[in-house]
Amino acid sequence: MIDIKLIRENRDLVKENIKKKFQDEKLPLVDEVYELDKKYRECKTKVDNLKAEKNKLSDSIGSLMRDKKQEEAKLVKEKVAEIAKEIPELEKEETSLEEEIRKRMLVIPNIIDDSVPIGEDDTKNVELEKFGEPIVPDYEIPYHADIINVLEGLDKEAAGRTSGEGFYFLKGDIARLHSAMLAYARDFMIDKGFTYYIPPFMIRSNVVTGVMSFKEMEAMMYKIEGEDLYLIGTSEHSMMGRYINQILKEEELPVTMTSYSPCFRKEGGSHGLEERGLYRVHQFEKQEMVVLCKMEDGMNWYNKMWQYTVEFFRSLDVPVRTLECCSGDLADLKVKSCDVEAWSPRQKKYFEVGSCSILGDAQTRRLSVRYKSKEGNKYLCSLNNTVVATPRGLIAVIENNYQKDGSILIPKALQPYMGGMTKIEKK
């Protein structure tokens, strides 16, 4: 959520930002908020003035009574009663205007960074840099689900019986490899100085609206029937909710957290061949990194964080590239974002395995997360980034370490988490 001062002082900037995100249907909201805000401030001023007048008149009644001016005191009491009756109506109007403003402000997108490329959708995203040599071996690499099936590590048929489409059973060494990646990701981030968390896997609606846009919420979140609870789509949601309505100390900053969780997503729409396996599923597991810092430190942390993900995948012998998200591909709360994509030697192209985002004070304004500075309480900058999400990360490791004989070499970094195993092969 942007600062309403921007709308009071520079509506053109807010409108231009909406145009850059190709959301022209939201342009009228800016003028609506401007007019509602004027009414709100007028109403608030009137309420404040009436309260001050009421207090002043109330204080004068005692003096009038002491001076035996009963008739004047009576008139003042009547005036106080009139004001007391008027104030609640105005306060009701003030609250109503405040709610109407917030409803619109939650929909107006955050101001994007000047460096973000302008484009309508993800086809206009821009490649930044490649890390590692993308290799295509001289032998065929089967579809990842077929590789895992041969190694007796996948059972989607049974998952269909228990849970339906979009779910899976992993088993044996493949399941162990999956867990090894998450354990390694945890330790990788702890070694970077991040504090490890396991958060709640359900959050209340006020946290949901604090961390994401309504469009994202409807597309992603599963609602628990009959309760004010949602299953999280990523642990970032819980980690940000942890600080709702909190004021941190300046000396506590930056707050650097790495959190593990299962993630639950609707993932609607038709799915093609590449997504029928483990690529697009309703349930997966992820190691996340979340940072809260001063606004002026945000971009430095942004660049550190995406580089951590690149370093993580390179340590698993997976070539990756970074892709700058264009304006039309940015979720409404994001200032800037880049994807980390892993090389698929089977498809001979890259696919997304992580996303790093800086959100400025969009989330912290919604959640009222601030820190106490010498100049007063200030909103924090929030950032989040994927260390690894499985099974997508698992697919990347399997494909890039697949051997001609059908076995999978285990990257050295994962071998201690696999009991010293160096490869997975058909038993």
Range in 81-85, 105-109, 407-411 with the lowest mean pLDDT: 81-85
Give the torsion sign (CA, 76, 79, 85, 91).
negative
List CB contacts of 344: < 8 A, sequence separation 6 or more.
Answer: 350, 351, 395, 396, 399
Average of per-residue pLDDT values in the chain: 93
Distance CA(208)–CA(230), nearest Å, equals 8
Q: What is the SS3 assignment for 1-32?
A: CCCHHHHHHCHHHHHHHHHHCCCHHHHHHHHH
Above 70 in pLDDT, residue 147? yes
Tens of pLDDT, residue by residue over 328-343, are 999 999 999 999 999 9
Are the C-beta atoms of residues 298 and 254 closer than 8 Å to each other?
Answer: no
Tens of pLDDT, residue by residue over 294-353, are 999 999 999 999 999 999 999 999 999 999 999 999 999 999 999 999 999 999 999 999
Q: Which of 301, 297, 298, 294 is nearest to 373 (CA)?
A: 294
Range in 100-114, 164-178, 212-226, 361-375 with the lowest mean pLDDT: 212-226
> What pLDDT does residue 76 have?
76
Query: Which stretch, 157-171, 265-279, 401-415, has highest mean pLDDT?
Result: 401-415
Question: What topology is assigned to 122-424 in CATH?
Answer: BirA Bifunctional Protein; domain 2 (3.30.930)
Tens of pLDDT, residue by residue over 71-93, are 888 887 888 888 888 899 999 99
CA distances from 268 to 55, 272, 279, 330, 332 (A): 58, 12, 13, 19, 20
List CB contacts of 32: < 8 A, sequence separation 6 or more.
Answer: 104
At CA 270, angle to CA 264 and CA 273, rounded to 5?
A: 95
Tens of pLDDT, residue by residue over 221-254, are 999 999 999 999 999 999 999 999 999 999 999 9
Rg (CA), the chain: 28
List CB contacts of 70: < 8 A, sequence separation 6 or more.
Answer: 64
Tens of pLDDT, residue by residue over 38-71, are 999 999 999 999 988 888 887 787 777 777 777 8
Q: Which of 118, 104, 86 is nearest to 32 (CA)?
A: 104
Distance CA(171)–CA(151), nearest Å, equals 10
User: Any idea of the CA torsion for 66, 69, 74, 76, to the nearest 10 degrees?
Assistant: -80
Domain spans in the chain, listed from the N-terminal domain onward: 4-105, 122-424
Q: What CATH number matches the domain at 4-105, 1.10.287.40, 1.10.150.130, 1.10.150.120, 3.30.300.20?
A: 1.10.287.40
> What pLDDT does residue 274 have?
52
According to DSSP, residue 402 is labeled: B
Distance CA(119)–CA(327), nearest Å, equals 6
Distance CA(102)–CA(210), nearest Å, equals 12
> What pLDDT does residue 275 have?
55
